[in-house]
Amino acid sequence: MKRLVNIFTYIFFPTTSTDAKMELDFAWRDWRQMPQEVGAYVRLDKGGSLICMCAFNYVKGESCGSLNDIALDRLSTILHELIHAYLDFYTCRCVEVLDSFEENVAQAEGHGRAWQRIASAIERAAPELLGYPLNMGRFESLTTAWKDLKHWPSREEVEGWQLVSRGSE
Ligand SMILES: [Zn+2]
């Protein structure tokens, strides 16, 4: 799985060797007591970052070609968490832009405008780049934070992100 994380980083978040912040480890987790937890991006106190994924939970979906629903969900989860890692590494947090950091990055538990735009672009590119459709939970990531949302996206943004509730399909 760590190799898959590295490959996805190389494909979707290329950086130069002098600016290689996207070095992530991977760990399986036993989150059977927390069925809502599928994956997480974690920055460790002792340094380093990793993507964690529940070894037991998965969302039921559709299979595609040689990949079943579990495998497809794993791919989507890795990329979902890689966006969180990318924004953590590269987002500016200077005092003078803190308001826009909150609005564009931090709100909705990190699923703000920046995350939505990147996730939307990856989902659109995935069928051609990977040969598989991905569902990164974009709509659900906003609706679970609905009541705490302070900065609402415009109608044009929502249309541009092509948000679709997969649960209602
Ligand atoms: Zn997320």
Question: What's the whole-number average pLDDT of the chain?
Answer: 88
pLDDT at 98: 82
Q: What are 16-57's pLDDT values in tens digits?
A: 776 777 889 999 999 988 878 889 999 998 888 999 999 987
Mean pLDDT (whole number) for 122-130: 94
CA 115 to centroid of ligand 1, rounded, Å: 8
CA 81 to centroid of ligand 1, rounded, Å: 6
CA 95 to centroid of ligand 1, rounded, Å: 24
d(CA 12, CA 118): 10
State how beta strands 39-43 and 49-54 pair.
Answer: antiparallel
pLDDT at 16: 75
CA neighbor of 22 nearest in space, from 39, 43, 45, 46: 43
pLDDT at 167: 53
CA neighbor of 48 nearest in space, from 8, 89, 80, 95: 89
Q: What are 44-93's pLDDT values in tens digits?
A: 988 889 999 999 876 777 888 888 888 999 999 999 999 999 999 999 88
pLDDT at 121: 95
CA 94 to centroid of ligand 1, rounded, Å: 23
Measured in degrees and rounded to the nearest 5, phi and psi for residue 121 equal: -65, -40
Percent pLDDT > 90 in the chain is: 49
Report the interhelical angle of 2-12 vs 69-90 (nearest 10°). 60
CA 19 to centroid of ligand 1, rounded, Å: 24
Higher pLDDT, 149 or 52: 52
pLDDT for 123 beyond 90: yes
CA 38 to centroid of ligand 1, rounded, Å: 10
CA 46 to centroid of ligand 1, rounded, Å: 23
